[in-house]
């Protein structure tokens, strides 16, 4: 079981006087505390440190943690240049990069960003899949790429990533179509469904699609993006997350938790809720800490770190019984 955290790179998660350079220190603290990955978000909706710049800063400052995006929006960037940047981060980190990608959503979280990038909204999923295929071609040394949407000749020699073939690429998305594409084309799945039963059902679809594409089901890493707040009890945690949801998303908590996995309560309650997702098949948690300044983020990080042995113990037990692999 891998358990990682999402760094608070957005200004909505900083308090007055917070220094964004502390984010590197935050990442090192997470690594020392036993977390296995550090992820960053990517958006132009709210001011935030650019995702790949943040990972480049973390690469020499950390040693063992996976560095990931949750999720990168490729349509915001030129595809060949992005392949070069991702390969560079993978190389500088010694092969610790994982790239989760997404196509954006309707409304203010999607279409306006396509307009800013001068990229058509139509066929966005096909464009995303082709962009990932292009990256993999560039990482393997190809000098041309001919897809239905993206076509390039004379691609100059690019820096090779640390690992042959490049870093693993995950897909963020929970629709049936996204599940099918994940199983056929991607190395991991990073959705955020509110219900563990919905996660389990989706994972079955992902694995069936992988087998149908003559891949091994276990080649697709089952991950989960989840927001968490450890509090004295559920009521106090929900009050804190209400402020968080409105500050970060501009929506009430009740609306956010209809579409995203959100857990809160005492440490035991948070542990039990996360364990339900593990029992549904999740093997890599990417946990966003529900706090609105860096001091509170660090406090939540310490409280969550105390749960790491308990969260990993069931996965270890299942592995010893031969019922699941330890990720």
| Residue 220 in domain | yes
Residue 229 structural domain = 2-72+168-321
Mean pLDDT across the stretch 176-200? 98
| Residue 180 in domain | yes
Q: What is the pLDDT of residue 108?
A: 65
pLDDT digits (tens, 9 = 90+) for 232-277: 999 999 999 999 999 998 999 999 999 999 999 999 999 999 999 9
- How far apart, in whole angstroms, are the C-alpha atoms of residue 238 and residue 123? 38
Handedness of CA 87, 91, 93, 97 (dihedral sign): positive
| Residue 56 in domain | yes
Tokens 């009890």 identify what position? 233
pLDDT of 321 > 70? The answer is no
| Residue 158 in domain | no
| pTM, full prediction | 0.94
| Residue 298 in domain | yes
- How far apart, in whole angstroms, are the C-alpha atoms of residue 78 and residue 166? 18
Q: Which residues lie closer than 8 Å to 199 by C-beta, 6 or more apart?
A: 191, 193, 224, 277, 280, 281, 282
Q: Are 288 and 48 in contact (CB under 8 A)?
A: no
Q: What is the pLDDT of residue 105?
A: 77
pLDDT of 90 > 60? The answer is yes
Mean pLDDT over the full length of the chain:
94
DSSP for 5-69, written as a single string = EE---BGGG--TT--TTHHHHHHHHHHHTT--EEEE---SSS-B--HHHHHHHHTTT-SSSEEEE
- List the Cα angle 64/102/21 in 5-degree steps: 45
* pLDDT range class, residue 109, cuts 50, 70, 90: low
| Residue 60 in domain | yes
* pLDDT range class, residue 113, cuts 50, 70, 90: confident
**Number of domains observed in the structure of the chain:** 1
Backbone angles phi, psi at 323, to 5 degrees: -95, -10
Residue 54 sits in a domain of what CATH number? 3.20.20.30
Mean pLDDT across the stretch 8-14? 95
Count of all residues that appear for the chain in the document: 327
| Residue 10 in domain | yes
Q: What is the pLDDT of residue 317?
A: 52
| Residue 327 in domain | no
Q: What is the pLDDT of residue 107?
A: 67
pLDDT of 222 > 80? The answer is yes
Q: At what angle do helices 308-321 and 267-279 cross, to 10 degrees?
A: 30
Mean pLDDT across the stretch 204-219? 97
Counting residues of the chain whose pLDDT is more than 70, the rounded percentage is 95
pLDDT digits (tens, 9 = 90+) for 48-80: 999 999 999 999 999 999 999 999 999 999 999
- How far apart, in whole angstroms, are the C-alpha atoms of residue 234 and residue 247? 20
């Amino acid at each position: 079981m891998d358990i990682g955290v999402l760094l608070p790179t957005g200004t909505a998660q900083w308090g007055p006087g917070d220094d964004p350079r502390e984010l590197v220190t935050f990442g090192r603290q997470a690594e020392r505390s036993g977390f296995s990955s550090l992820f960053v978000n990517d958006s132009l909706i709210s001011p935030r440190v650019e995702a790949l710049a943040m990972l480049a800063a973390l690469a020499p400052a950390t040693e063992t943690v996976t560095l990931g995006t949750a999720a990168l929006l490729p349509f915001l960037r030129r595809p060949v240049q992005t392949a070069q940047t991702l390969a560079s981060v993978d190389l500088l980190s010694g092969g610790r990069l994982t790239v989760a990608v997404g196509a954006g959503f309707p409304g203010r979280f999607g279409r306006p960003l396509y307009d800013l990038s001068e990229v058509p909204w139509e066929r966005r999923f096909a464009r995303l899949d082709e962009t990932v295929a292009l990256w993999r071609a560039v990482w393997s040394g190809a000098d041309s790429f001919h897809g239905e949407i993206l076509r390039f000749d004379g691609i100059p020699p690019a820096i090779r990533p640390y690992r042959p073939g490049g870093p693993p690429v995950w897909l963020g998305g929970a629709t049936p179509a996204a599940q099918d594409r994940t199983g056929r084309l991607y190395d991991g799945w990073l959705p955020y469904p509110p219900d563990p039963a919905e996660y389990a059902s989706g994972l079955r679809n992902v694995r069936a699609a992988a087998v149908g594409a003559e891949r091994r089901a276990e080649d697709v890493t089952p991950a989960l993006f989840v927001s968490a707040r450890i509090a004295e009890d559920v009521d106090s945690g929900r009050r804190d997350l209400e402020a968080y949801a409105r500050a970060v998303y501009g929506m009430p908590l009740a609306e956010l938790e209809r579409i995203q996995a959100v857990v809160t309560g005492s440490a035991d309650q948070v542990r039990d809720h996360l364990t339900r997702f593990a029992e549904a098949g999740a093997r890599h948690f990417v946990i966003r800490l529900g706090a609105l300044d860096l001091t509170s983020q660090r406090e939540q990080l310490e409280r969550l770190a105390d749960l790491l042995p308990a969260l990993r113990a069931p996965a270890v037990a299942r592995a010893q019984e031969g019922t699941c692999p330890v990720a």
